[in-house]
Structure 1
């Protein structure tokens, strides 16, 4: 026992010693090779001399403190947005001149490079710098930097630039004028980040002194001097006119953009109000009767003004309900479906039904399996949609093809968006240098283009008849959405077969099946699941004797939705496992496309079985 206590004691002290060692290591200074690199400019001073010809000579003195390292070069970039040229570069380190070089990184040299926006000088130290302070001197002459006005010529310059990543602790600028003036004729000012500050002093009739600092990365500092006109021989530089007009141009650009936004937005609203808004018709109370003379595909198109895949599938179910088609689940695993034509002519009521039958069966005769249509039927979907649109127009529900209307306004929106992009690219250079607010105009054009693209979806306009029929269809849809309230009567149960195609077109088929399944509704006779025998009564398809079709044995009448239940959660029955699965597979097959290569799967849609 005693030995155990001693062992724990020793281990405890070892743990404490280990923890103290870690703490000591954490507070010890890191080795020099791990120190961070940093640069601070303790001072950046300047002597600026305005010459008789209007050129301006700069002499900048930098005191730079290096930490870490090594550092081998530095650079200074002078923008030319308010100047016409720059030259006469000289660079020295600790009073020793560096030599100009056309290119390269040779120690003891400097290289001047030009761009469209300015000039950049990069100087390479004679020896790498680290943990020390060095002094550098830059000399250069800028042409066209003065503003020439009748009321007085001005020198207005950003001595501390905004685009840098290091701190400048202090700066002093001494401006020497071209001759001695009365101090009363001189004006001076400084600006820190665009705001005026009082850090200037008129020393005498020829000298103005500016002081400032510290300047953190991103800070900007400008100096300004005005002296009597007529002393220098310079003329107004080209940029001066644009710079003087910039405030008015920016204000005008913003005003134009605001007017475009208000006028364009109002114009788009009026466009929709006059050409896209449906006529106002009285509301219709919810009704349990399907709209007379309005087939499911047309009803679905009236709701969303689109003939989509739901409307095509709803047409197949409607034709099956009317005895035109029979649908059987086939295959060992029940993953395929057989469509059989029972009575196509003269039972087809609409041209789009004829197109659908022709595209599905073609030369296959009176039957086809769904798998035969995979990666082949998608080329016919647009033809069927067009036939549905044509039927809607022929019925007087739309003045023209809704899809064509959408495409016209979509094309206009794309054209306007292209114009906005071209205008934005064309004005970018001008906006960047002189009139930034000018970019607001192409931005507003782009916003209006996007608004028109969105508006194109609601531009198809119904006729008065179409609006009235749409109100009736919406009333019927509301009834189907609340069908569970009305299923306590035999009449309501008997309408499932009639309601299902409309529910498919409305996107509420899953809820409809669930609601009818709860009240023991008979299953539709036109669909035969593979896994369960079904007894067909008069009017249903079957063998000549009207007996069972399936795998035998179970009699007693037509199975209900409820007795087919049990395979899915939420009270759904094998109607969901069979019928809804068939709808899902059919929709997926109709839009499936061939794979472009072995590594890419074929496209395909999905049938959720739910509303939405």
Structure 2
């Protein structure tokens, strides 16, 4: 029994050994530098599969690097793969993420023992350019091999006319990030040889060569820009987002052409201030609702009295008393949002209510009032193609989601890609305010609304007298609409000579010493702001390839696994 257990344990411990029993006997690279900044790399790899049967090896070389906020892509063209005697191997080259993978061998044939592989490829964009020198920073073996490398070496053939005395040299060995230089540099006349001994799995050899300025051709500014844009194509994402949203707006958000604007002194099609304000700026907001409350007071449905609710020493706090003057429930002349507004104040039975009594209560009516305003203008009157709030929300949500994706992209990809996606999200957010679309009918009515606004802004006493419109009735009738346009002060100033008494629907203790339209509108505006604050009040429970030279590797910035090249591979 003991012998059986010992045998099984031996098999278990031998399994991982057998899975990685092959090894690399020798890894040599020859690098031929050209004055145009490119270089040829020939890797000679001697693999010993032992008794294992393998199709061949694969070599994964990184070609995509993170540099600064963006990406940097190496250009690597595989020229040939053969053995040391010049016999060609069958191989396939494909992109695997950031790697260019070279898979060598015949899928219908297996080999064992020692096999030699000679891989030749051309590298472009593999030079780092600095102020005082240009740099070849090349990870010779790569540090991602799962098997040991018994010995590794590299021969760097310097650009034509450059001697080794003119260059800076360094080499590093070990795991990624190691600054150990367990390697030997032997310079010759126009070439440099670098050697190291045994490399454990995930250990590698890296070389640095600093070439004097002016020897290697530098890419032009236009070439650098074009490479950058190709490497970081996602920088075009905001542009594509802008074009997409522009086309989307043109097709589905742009209003039809509007006709000419003619001044008018009545609301088009008897629209309420809430409807006028919503069609004017494409949103039903609090100013539209409070202005409609004043309009209902002008029509005689309620009275508003300014009172004092609290008094402390010489200071008092204003309150407002609302008195119901008409039964609104069965009044067919009222629109649903007007009825809801009155219901929110008086309920079903109250004759009186105070503004303070509406605190933390009226807010439940606001969504219903807004929904009815939109329903009236969209479904009944067909002024909007769709509910503007819902259209905006759709694009706002899309913009926020896109921006959120950009934030998560920054640590996963790079800063530049994340910022590009965030900018695209901001573009969608910006267009969300342009996307609500009016119909032809809606645009026609908008022209009339703008005519009313023009009348309010241009109103003059002499002209109104000629039109027989200079009276208190027209002042009160137009006042709620002037409030919607933010022109109440100008409207009040026009009537300052005729309007000497406060309206019957508004009472204040502060007018005993005198009344003026400007003071009235000022007080009314302050009151509406207070009402708006109360109406919305809620109860508390509701709620890569970089340089190796520190600037260069000769100032302590280089390390094993740095620079271009590297990667690793395996057997298959």
**TM-score scaled to structure 1, two decimals?**
0.51
Q: 1:289 aligns with which of 266, 275, 278?
A: 266
Q: 2:469 aligns with which of 469, 473, 491?
A: 491
Are 2:524 and 1:579 aligned? yes
C-alpha separation in 1, matches of 2:325 and 2:455: 32
Cα distance change of structure 1 residues 53 and 459 upon mapping to structure 2, 3 Å threshold: closer
C-alpha separation in 1, matches of 2:383 and 2:447: 12
1:364-415: per-residue Cα shift (whole Å, max 9, x none)?
Answer: 6121011101233223222211111111122111122111111111111122
- The question of whether the paired residues in 2 share the 8 Å contact of 1:307 and 1:388 is answered with yes
Deviation at 1:468, TM superposition (A): 0.7
- Structure 1 equivalent of residue 381 of structure 2: 395
Cα distance change of structure 1 residues 238 and 356 upon mapping to structure 2, 3 Å threshold: farther
Local SS of the residue matching 2:470: helix
- The question of whether the paired residues in 2 share the 8 Å contact of 1:326 and 1:526 is answered with yes
- The question of whether the paired residues in 2 share the 8 Å contact of 1:413 and 1:452 is answered with yes
Deviation at 1:356, TM superposition (A): 1.0
Cα distance change of structure 1 residues 522 and 499 upon mapping to structure 2, 3 Å threshold: farther
- The question of whether the paired residues in 2 share the 8 Å contact of 1:151 and 1:228 is answered with no
Q: 2:436 aligns with which of 460, 478, 483?
A: 460
Cα distance change of structure 1 residues 251 and 386 upon mapping to structure 2, 3 Å threshold: closer
Q: 1:271 aligns with which of 226, 234, 248?
A: 248
C-alpha separation in 1, matches of 2:427 and 2:205: 38
Are 2:523 and 1:523 aligned? no
Q: 1:331 aligns with which of 283, 304, 308?
A: 308
Cα distance change of structure 1 residues 320 and 153 upon mapping to structure 2, 3 Å threshold: closer
- Structure 1 equivalent of residue 358 of structure 2: 373
C-alpha separation in 2, matches of 1:336 and 1:514: 26
- Structure 2 equivalent of residue 361 of structure 1: 346
1:182-226: per-residue Cα shift (whole Å, max 9, x none)?
Answer: xxx94169xxxxxxxx9x7435xxxx6549xxxxxxxxxxx9998
Gaps of 5+ in 2: 1-25, 30-61, 64-117, 132-151, 170-184, 207-223, 310-315, 544-572
Cα distance change of structure 1 residues 255 and 321 upon mapping to structure 2, 3 Å threshold: same
C-alpha separation in 1, matches of 2:382 and 2:123: 76
- The question of whether the paired residues in 2 share the 8 Å contact of 1:253 and 1:441 is answered with no
C-alpha separation in 2, matches of 1:376 and 1:450: 36
Deviation at 1:423, TM superposition (A): 3.2
Between 491-500 and 513-522, the greater mean CA deviation after superposition: 513-522
Deviation at 1:250, TM superposition (A): 4.6
- Structure 1 equivalent of residue 158 of structure 2: 187
- Structure 1 equivalent of residue 180 of structure 2: none
Cα distance change of structure 1 residues 523 and 441 upon mapping to structure 2, 3 Å threshold: same
- The question of whether the paired residues in 1 share the 8 Å contact of 2:257 and 2:443 is answered with yes
Aligned residues: 367
- Structure 2 equivalent of residue 301 of structure 1: 278
Deviation at 1:230, TM superposition (A): 12
1:107-151: per-residue Cα shift (whole Å, max 9, x none)?
Answer: xxxxxxxxxxxxxxxxxxxxxxxxxxxxxxxxxxxxxxxxx9748
C-alpha separation in 2, matches of 1:504 and 1:466: 21
**TM-score scaled to structure 2, two decimals?**
0.55
Gaps of 5+ in 1: 1-51, 56-80, 83-147, 163-177, 190-197, 212-222, 241-246, 429-438, 534-553, 555-562, 566-570, 597-601, 604-612
